[in-house]
Structure 1
Amino acid sequence: MEANNSSVKKRYRSIDITRGIVVLVAVFVSALPGGGGYDYLRHAYWYGLTITDLVFPAFLTVYGIGLAIVYRKGVKWKDQLRRTFLLVLYGLLFNLIASWSFNLDTLRFTGVLQLFALTGLGVVILSYLAKGWKSMLALGLLIATLYLAVLVFSSGSCEGGVPQRDCNPSGVIDVIVFGENHMYAQGEKGFDPEGILSIFSALSNVAFGFAVGLVLNSRKQILTRIFGVAIGLLSLAFIFDYFIEFNKRLWTPSFALLASGLTLLLLGTLFYFIDARERKQGKVTGIPLWYLEAFGRNSFLIYFGKMLVFLLFGRIVINLFGREGSLASFLFEYLSGIVAYPHFVYSGFFVLFWSIIAVVMHANKKYVRV
């Protein structure tokens, strides 16, 4: 990784702010113990949809937008391959730390960073087939449709004729490719949320974002096209939901479409109130916008760094007052004794931690890239 100075090129502030909102929400819900007792603030058990479920696909959608803008003059393959390699390597190292042991026989090969890396590489390859935003959008829809067909035709023998935790294609394909010992929870859950099929489906999110990035590059009918794509994806999401419901664990097509649609709807709204307005009235300022930009400009550091921090807080054991426990358990126990809503204060502690880092780095124009 390296810290770069701010680019002199004009940026679409709405992208940074959208990314900042996504990352800020990610920090809050990820740090919230047990979702604070609210189901909509933790991952859905199987079918269903929560705020927490939407965070990662939203992040991937904005990632796709950024890739299209970065590579508007052509793909820099050396940089892309280097980025892919490093992300996969970091993902494997994170899995080693998460297991809290150095056992290569049970090292999980898949993960969030690996999915992030491979979908980025995948969409760059697709960009050679799709020269315009419409064709990239079509490829994203093709991926979603193909995955829907796989889920429908492979689930005929499952309960209700739809994928279940113990009856789904991930439980077959990922076992064959990786082996049970190298899957999520050593295959005991019956699926891998970042397995082969999830990577394939998540590629559609990055493709949808890439398509909108091409729209931004064209500088033509930006608002109309962003809102058009967003509404189209949302409409298709509910059509696809009729066949296979929203499911983050399997990254169902309806889930992917809905997440990207909502993300692009947010982006379009922010573009209207910020970037479009700035063309006529000058820069739109305000502390909240600057704060969200701070999160957005260092989104990679914060989004993936939070995972490592939460992991270490839960794994590092200390002896305090004659008792052993993790940093996380002692902090939560302490908060439980002095505040009425310890879950939210605990989460707020991590939001404050990352806010300080984001604000200081943004003020000094230091941004972490891979």
Structure 2
Amino acid sequence: MTNSASQRFLALDALRGLAIALMILVNTPGSWSHVYPLLLHADWHGFTFADLVFPLFLFAVGAALAFSMANAQPSVGVWLKIGKRTGLLFAAGLLLHWFPFQQGVTELRIPGVLQRIALCYAMTAVLVLYLKPRSLLLITLLLPLCYWLLLWQFALQLPYQLQGNAVQRLDLWLLGPAHLYHGFGTAFDPEGLLSTLPAISSTLIGYLLAVKLKQLNTEHNSKEHSSKAPSLHFLLAGAVLLTVVGVIWHLIWPINKALWSGSYVALSSGLILWLLAAMFWCIDMQQKRWLQPLVIYGSNPLFIYILSWLWASTASQLIHINHEGHSISLYQFAFDSLNTLLEARLASLLFALLHVGLFWLLSYWLYQRRMFIKL
């Protein structure tokens, strides 16, 4: 966000930077066998710190649309722009899964993080192009409810269990098991097509929140004594409401990131608003500059995310060194070296933090040269 309107909401830029920093932190441990529980996703039902990262990024995508499409009108040019960005994001996601090109296309996982971001961006952008905020709010509420109904309608047995849920059934029918994630011990993709519906709500919440902040900011600037306190109060009220809804909804629809349950949408969005309120108070109201590194991190988020993935894949699969008579990956060698000095989980955490720092330095280098790579 570089226009004058967005500069009055540095907290949104810092939030986007936090999202990419946490993505790298969670995705790049020194060893997946030695990770603090908070940095691992919940096995199935439940919520950990790591489960906040993906909805945080989708929230940021929605918030950015409030500025990039503020004056957009339906036209061939706008449709081409949306289509181009969607295609680039989706193709980049497929290439990341394929890299380093050692598997056949018949085994390529089709859903994924960037693919979901692409779909959520596309659907949100189209909705924003044609609908007013009040209609968008209604859709934001209806999408999880319709998804909830579909889970009950098309599950083989219980709607929220791993085997036979509606998300898995649709993906198996459309894509087949070879093109899905197998990390749960079976063919089930946490970025499945059907569960993208409530993920769009997570994106729309980011958009609607940013629109409301812009509206409040315009109203306050028109007054003789402008204040940003109403914006903070709005953020806190939204945080309380969504958090409470998420906790209560969990009693009948368990919080589940893999299924992207409605309770998960509400709780994660509520926690994001708590974070945003704290950042807004620090950086927009108190003019504290210690969050500036996050603003820098958020200046090329998707490009940095892709590079971090490519680097991790390259270091773990393509670069090998001889160590004590054995050939090991550079990734493993770096972790083992840290592990000689620190306990395994601390070494794994430090490994991830060093990667967060490394890619912040790259972000800073790009930021200093005003290089903003858009996807």
Normalising by the residue count of structure 1, what TM-score does the alignment of the two structures yield?
0.88
- Give the aligned residue type for 1:248: K
Distance 2:129 2:241 in 1: 24
Pick aligned residue for 1:342 from 347, 357, 363: 347
Residue 227 of structure 2 corresponds to which residue in structure 1?
none
Residue 281 of structure 1 corresponds to which residue in structure 2?
none
- What is the Cα deviation at residue 153 of structure 1? 4.2
Distance 1:360 1:64 in 2: 26
Residues 127-138 of structure 1: pairs in structure 2 closer than 5 A = 127-128=128-129, 130-132=131-133, 134-138=134-138
- Give the aligned residue type for 2:371: K
Pick aligned residue for 2:181 from 177, 180, 184: 184
Residue 31 of structure 1 corresponds to which residue in structure 2?
28
Distance 2:330 2:373 in 1: 27
Distance 1:101 1:34, change over 3 A: closer
2:72–2:129 CA contact under 8 A, matched in 1:
no
- What is the Cα deviation at residue 316 of structure 1? 1.7
Residue 204 of structure 1 corresponds to which residue in structure 2?
201
Pick aligned residue for 2:300 from 298, 306, 310: 298
How far does the alpha carbon of each residue in 1:252-298 deviate from its partner, in whole angstroms, 9 at most, with x for none? Answer: 11112211121122213322333245xxxxxx253x32211111112
- State whether structure 2 residue 235 is matched by structure 1 residue 226: yes
RMSD between superposed Cα atoms in Å: 2.4
Distance 1:66 1:6 in 2: 10
- What is the Cα deviation at residue 354 of structure 1? 0.8
- What is the Cα deviation at residue 208 of structure 1? 0.6
How many residue pairs get aligned? The number is 354
Distance 1:306 1:20 in 2: 14
Distance 1:186 1:360, change over 3 A: closer
1:136–1:210 CA contact under 8 A, matched in 2:
no
Residue 56 of structure 2 corresponds to which residue in structure 1?
58
How far does the alpha carbon of each residue in 1:150-204 deviate from its partner, in whole angstroms, 9 at most, with x for none? Answer: 234445823xxx5222231122111111122222239962421111122112111
2:140–2:205 CA contact under 8 A, matched in 1:
yes
- State whether structure 2 residue 356 is matched by structure 1 residue 351: yes
Distance 2:91 2:238 in 1: 34
Distance 1:104 1:40 in 2: 34
Distance 2:19 2:318 in 1: 28
Distance 1:335 1:276, change over 3 A: closer
Distance 2:284 2:212 in 1: 14
Residue 112 of structure 1 corresponds to which residue in structure 2?
113
1:106–1:186 CA contact under 8 A, matched in 2:
no
1:143–1:200 CA contact under 8 A, matched in 2:
yes
2:247–2:263 CA contact under 8 A, matched in 1:
yes
Distance 1:256 1:304 in 2: 25
Point out the more displaced range, 111-120 or 331-340: 331-340
Pick aligned residue for 1:329 from 332, 335, 338: 332
- What is the Cα deviation at residue 62 of structure 1? 1.3
Distance 1:186 1:49 in 2: 18
- Give the aligned residue type for 1:67: L
Distance 1:165 1:37 in 2: 24
Normalising by the residue count of structure 2, what TM-score does the alignment of the two structures yield?
0.87
Q: What percentage of residue pairs aligned between the two structures are identical?
A: 27
1:91–1:114 CA contact under 8 A, matched in 2:
yes
Distance 2:2 2:136 in 1: 29
Name segments (4+ residues, structure 1) moved above 6 Å: none
Name stretches of at least 5 consecutive residues in structure 2 with no aligned partner: 220-229
Point out the more displaced range, 72-81 or 174-183: 72-81
Distance 2:13 2:207 in 1: 15
Name stretches of at least 5 consecutive residues in structure 1 with no aligned partner: 278-283
Residue 268 of structure 2 corresponds to which residue in structure 1?
259
- State whether structure 2 residue 361 is matched by structure 1 residue 361: no
Distance 1:196 1:258, change over 3 A: same
